[in-house]
Amino acid sequence: MSTAVPHAPRSEISVRRPEAERMGFFTDTTVCIGCKACEVACKQWNDLPADGSTFRKGGSYDHTGELGAATWRHVRFVEQLEPSPLSVSEAHDLDLVAMASERAPAEVDVAAAVADMSRWIFMSDVCKHCTNAGCMDACPTGALVRTEFETVIVQQDVCNGCGYCVPSCPFGVIDRDHQDGRAAKCTLCYDRLQDGLEPACAKACPTDSIQFGPYDELLDVAERRVATLHDRGRTDAYLYGAGDAPGEEVAGGLGAFFLLTDPPERYGLPAQADSPIQENVVTATAAAVAAGLAAATGVAVAFGAAKRGWTGARPGGLLTLAAAAAGAVEVVRDLREGGRRRDRAHGHAAVPRAQGRADQGETRSEGHPR
């Protein structure tokens, strides 16, 4: 299977080298063991502060909780909980004290405990380095730039801490540092890439759950991995953020994509995502044109009234301008209604796949999805 590699517009690439090619991450969640070696390696290499190692309520071993300005890698812990076989009426009649007193102490069944690990899902989350990067679109100072490897980095000396990039990221990746207010996120170890080195997180991963390399090679590896899992009976395996049909890409195609076996929402990922600015650029442009025509109409009316009086103004020209402005407003309404219809169509189309996986059981996330 061969899939076209998505590329950002050449005009977006701030650093250019003829020999450079798009680099990225492929994360296979089926072999992630939740060891957090990637988190430690990322913090150590980038000199990021620790998260405190505080056991918080419902947090299990997930100290970090979410991606942030000082946490550029986050291993998400998700526990799959099967529905209880007891009905609601039976649950109300349970005598928990009697059950506890009747239970005899027993040794831990190691084999059962290991088998029980299949209820857990681990995923190492990171910046997606989107082809359509919402953070770049929103940045007013040019602090966020695209490198020769088509990754997105923050220039700390240019960032003014406005925070516009934070709500513009559909994945909740980038954040402002609580001390100096400037934005920060994963750089895909740009300093290491410049020296031909592998990013620290991928280097530290003991199971090769995180794989790094040229994007086209990673995509080929990922597609073959999905095919292998399907042959083994894991037909629920699929790629998130890569290999999508044209026009259906997540944020134009992700530079860091994933192999998942459950709906993306269970991993704290959105089913559909794009840069808010690029998503609304057509309607916003049409609205600007309509506003301009309306303003021109008002100016023409005022000018005509002042020069000739209302009785002497030429109604034909004014009516033409008014009709043009009204037409532009209708175009905006049609575009917005078309967008709503497309959103509803996408929503209905996505239900069968997500619903099929959701039937496997309810979930509880140990982190705090952003």
- Give per-residue pLDDT as tens, 21-76: 999 999 999 999 999 999 999 999 999 998 766 666 666 667 788 899 999 999 99
What is the identity of the amino acid at 213?
Answer: G
Mean pLDDT is lowest, of 100-109, 181-190, 208-217, 330-339, for 330-339
Question: Domain range spanning residue 295?
Answer: 280-346
Q: Across residues 224-247, what is the average pLDDT?
A: 92
- Asked if the model's pLDDT at residue 233 lies above 80, the reply is yes
188, 137: one domain: yes
- Confirm whether 368 is domain-assigned: no
User: How far is the C-alpha of 245 from the C-alpha of 228, rounded, in Å?
Assistant: 21
Q: What percent of the chain has pLDDT over 90?
A: 46
- Return the CATH number at 42: 3.30.70.20
- Confirm whether 352 is domain-assigned: no
- Confirm whether 58 is domain-assigned: yes
293, 257: one domain: no
Read off the pLDDT band of 120 (50, 70, 90).
confident
Domain count, the chain: 2
- Confirm whether 367 is domain-assigned: no
70, 202: one domain: yes
299, 183: one domain: no
Q: What is the pLDDT of residue 362?
A: 41
Among the candidates 273, 298, 322, a domain finishes at 273
Q: Across residues 193-210, what is the average pLDDT?
A: 95
- Confirm whether 225 is domain-assigned: yes
Residue for token pair 């299949």: 118
67, 207: one domain: yes
User: How far is the C-alpha of 45 from the C-alpha of 72, rounded, in Å?
Assistant: 11
Q: What is the pLDDT of residue 338?
A: 55
- Is residue 76 within a helix (H) or strand (E), and if so which, with residue range? strand 74-81
- Confirm whether 98 is domain-assigned: no
319, 222: one domain: no
Read off the pLDDT band of 232 (50, 70, 90).
very high
User: How far is the C-alpha of 354 from the C-alpha of 363, rounded, in Å?
Assistant: 13
192, 248: one domain: yes
User: How far is the C-alpha of 54 from the C-alpha of 281, rounded, in Å?
Assistant: 43
- Indicate yes or no: pTM above 0.75: no
261, 285: one domain: no
End-to-end CA distance of the chain: 33
Q: Across residues 317-345, what is the average pLDDT?
A: 55
Is-contact 79 366, C-beta < 8 A? yes
288, 266: one domain: no
317, 258: one domain: no
Six-digit token string for 95: 């005598």
- Confirm whether 366 is domain-assigned: no
State the burial class of residue 100 (Cβ atoms within 10 Å of its Cβ: 0-12, 13-18, 19+). exposed
Q: Which residue has the higher pLDDT, 249 or 207?
A: 207
Which of helix, strand or coil describes residue 171? coil
Average predicted confidence (pLDDT) for the chain: 78
Q: Which residue has the higher pLDDT, 182 or 301?
A: 182
- Asked if the model's pLDDT at residue 252 lies above 60, the reply is yes
242, 311: one domain: no
50, 124: one domain: yes
Of the segments 187-191, 305-309, 363-367, which one has the largest average pLDDT value? Answer: 187-191
Which of helix, strand or coil describes residue 95? coil
- pLDDT tens digits along 153-163: 999 999 999 99
- Confirm whether 288 is domain-assigned: yes
Six-digit token string for 143: 């602090």
